[in-house]
Amino acid sequence: MNHYRVTKVHTCRAPWMRRMGALAGLLALALLSSTARAQTTMPQLFLNEIVGGLNAPIFLTAPANDSRLFIVERPGRIRIFENGVLLPTPFLNITGKTDTTGEGGLLSFAFHPKYAENGHFYVNYTTPGARASRIERYTVSPTNPNVADPASARLILQIDQPFTNHNGGLNAFGPDGKLYIAMGDGGSANDPQNNAQNRANLLGDMLRIDVDNGDPYAIPADNPFVGQAGIRPEIWAYGLRNPWRFAFDFTDNQLYIADVGQNEWEEIHIEPSTQGGQNYGWKIMEGQHCFSPASGCNQTGLTLPPVEYNHSEGCSITGGYVYRGEKIPEIAGHYFYSDYCNGWIRSFKYANAAVTEKRQWSLPSVGNIVSFGEDAQKNLYVLSFNGRVYRLANQDNLKGDVTRDERVNVTDAILVLRSSVGNATLTSIQRTLGNVNGDANVDVSDAVLILQHAVGIITQFPQ
């Protein structure tokens, strides 16, 4: 039906429409023949801008089986991106409760695994005045799924912070349905209070609590330090400096923790999601290297990271996720991460205690990458300090996608055709995507190829 709408253009009297009618005939003839090209082993990835104009976007997530994106703005708002539109009314606005001094603010939130039934989600933010990290539960409005009930706030856990940095800040539910909370060492530099090795407090730790029982929570019976004198039972693992971002891979049941380094080394820890009790070493170690003391440190009982990089390559790791989406099957199982200062994006695969397929992807710079995100369909997103959110995509799939909806269809061919006769103007990004034959011009021949792709005559554009 779309093809017939294209060929009926000649009935209009406008000169540009008559020219389009003649050119549309060429599109129809071009459908008669073409050959498909073999796919490359690994795709060329692309960061497709989804939305911009945000105020310090810092996290992105979505509840299960939901097409919406929920984007955290650091000052204290959660915004909804739905059907290509950033909704003007925030899902939640707690800007009056947050403090963005140093590394503070609204840092993340997590939907309860049974959000569709109970409407609960859990925010992690820092408070003004007497600095503290607060974990609070909110509930969605019973009458509007795009707005939370601000009066539903319930304090779950508060942890005092001695300094304004190293807050950790990520909440996430694990495969076991328990809430995991990443806490930094309390800040300053060099962990002056030795918090990360002090299990009497909750700083420098990965916490695990049961929010479905207890008041306001219960301690899971299988937490590793339950019943041990002088140790907080919430602790799942310790010895962390600033685990800004961590992620569960629900397919392989692994936990990835990206821990921000001090002077020289950034690190990633990987453990089975069912295994707790680790001492990840800070501040005895920085990465795989002695820190305090600088040499001859006692590494007995420490769990060292299988992946690290030094500060000649960056300055602050931004952990991501293992890709489990369906749009780019070639990268399934790759854990993606970045560096805030240098902005590169890297990935690797991890299996049988071995790191393989390390690579740094060739991608255009999008500025300082503050976080990754994951939607309900397991697509990955990159959040930049520039106020924009990008979706990780296969560039081969985006070639020809001038409308940037990650589908190549007749609408894209029509837009390129209109551009070629002067009836539409393409942006620079649209021209790059529309130039599918690689001849530096966006013209009728590109529209022909896009239409062939849209109707399935070809599966790839010329390389």
For residue range 329-348, list pLDDT tens digits in order. Answer: 999 999 999 999 999 999 99
Helix (H) or strand (E) holding 246: strand 245-249
Q: Which of 26-35, 101-110, 121-130, 148-157 has the lowest mean pLDDT?
A: 26-35
For residues 213 and 226, give the distance between their C-alpha atoms in angstroms, rounded to a whole number. 16
Q: Which residues pair with 70 in a beta bridge?
A: 61, 80
pLDDT tens-place string over residues 4-55: 233 333 334 454 455 555 455 545 544 543 333 334 479 999 999 999 999 9
For residue 46, being part of any structural domain is answered with no
- Locate 174 and state its tokens: 């694990």
Question: Does one domain contain both 59 and 13?
Answer: no
Q: What pLDDT does 32 receive? A: 42
Residues 378 and 406 in one domain: no
Q: What is the average pLDDT across 134-152?
A: 98
With residues binned 3-state (H G I as helix, E B as strand, rest as coil), the percentages for the chain, rounded to 5, are 15, 35, 50
Is 461 domain-assigned?
no
* pLDDT score for 19: 53
Overall average pLDDT of the 299-315 stretch = 98
Residues 92 and 228 in one domain: yes
pLDDT of residue 12: 42
- pLDDT value of residue 444: 94
- Same-domain status, 22 and 80: no
pLDDT value at residue 463:
66
Is the domain of 290 the same as that of 430?
Answer: no
Q: Considering its fold, how many domains does the chain have in total?
A: 2
pLDDT at 369: 98
Residues 9 and 72 reside in one and the same domain: no
Least confident of 34-48, 261-275, 299-313, 445-459: 34-48
Per residue in 404-460, pLDDT (tens digit) is 878 889 999 999 999 999 999 998 878 988 999 989 899 999 999 999 999 999 988
pLDDT score, position 28: 52
Residues 335, 281 within the same domain = yes
219 and 366 part of one domain: yes
- Residue at a domain's end among 359, 387, 415: 387
In a domain, 463, yes or no: no
- Token pair listed for 332: 């399934």
Of 126-140, 184-198, 302-316, 445-459, the range with the lowest mean pLDDT is 445-459
Strand-pairing partners, residue 125, are: 106, 134
- 114 and 8 both lie in a single domain: no
434-451 burial by CB neighbour count: b if 16+ within 10 A, else e?
bbbbeeeebbbbbbbbbb
Task: Verify that 373 and 413 share a domain, yes or no.
Answer: no
Query: Can you list the alpha helix ranges (DSSP code H) found in 255-407?
Result: 395-398
Gap between the Cα atoms of 10 and 27, Å rounded:
14
Q: Is 460 inside any structural domain?
A: no
In Å, how far are 3, 39, 142, 157, 408 from 458, measured between CA atoms? 16, 12, 48, 56, 12
Domain that holds residue 143: 53-387
Domain boundary among the residues 346, 362, 387 is at: 387
Domain CATH number, residue 246: 2.120.10.30
Residue type, 87: L
**Distance between CA atoms of residues 261 and 241, nearest Å:** 7
Write down the pLDDT at residue 17: 52
* Rounded distance between C-alpha atoms, residue 199 and residue 237, angstroms: 9
Domain's final residue, options 356, 387, 418: 387
β-pair type (245-249, 380-384): unpaired
> What's residue 405's pLDDT?
79
Comparing 12-21, 258-267, 287-296, which segment has the lowest mean pLDDT?
12-21
**Is there a single domain that holds both residue 250 and residue 371?**
yes
209-225 per-position pLDDT tens digit: 999 999 999 999 999 99
> Exposed, middle or buried: residue 352 (CB in 10 Å: 0-12, 13-18, 19+)?
exposed
Q: Are residues 293 and 431 in the same domain?
A: no
CB 454 within 8 A of CB 430: no
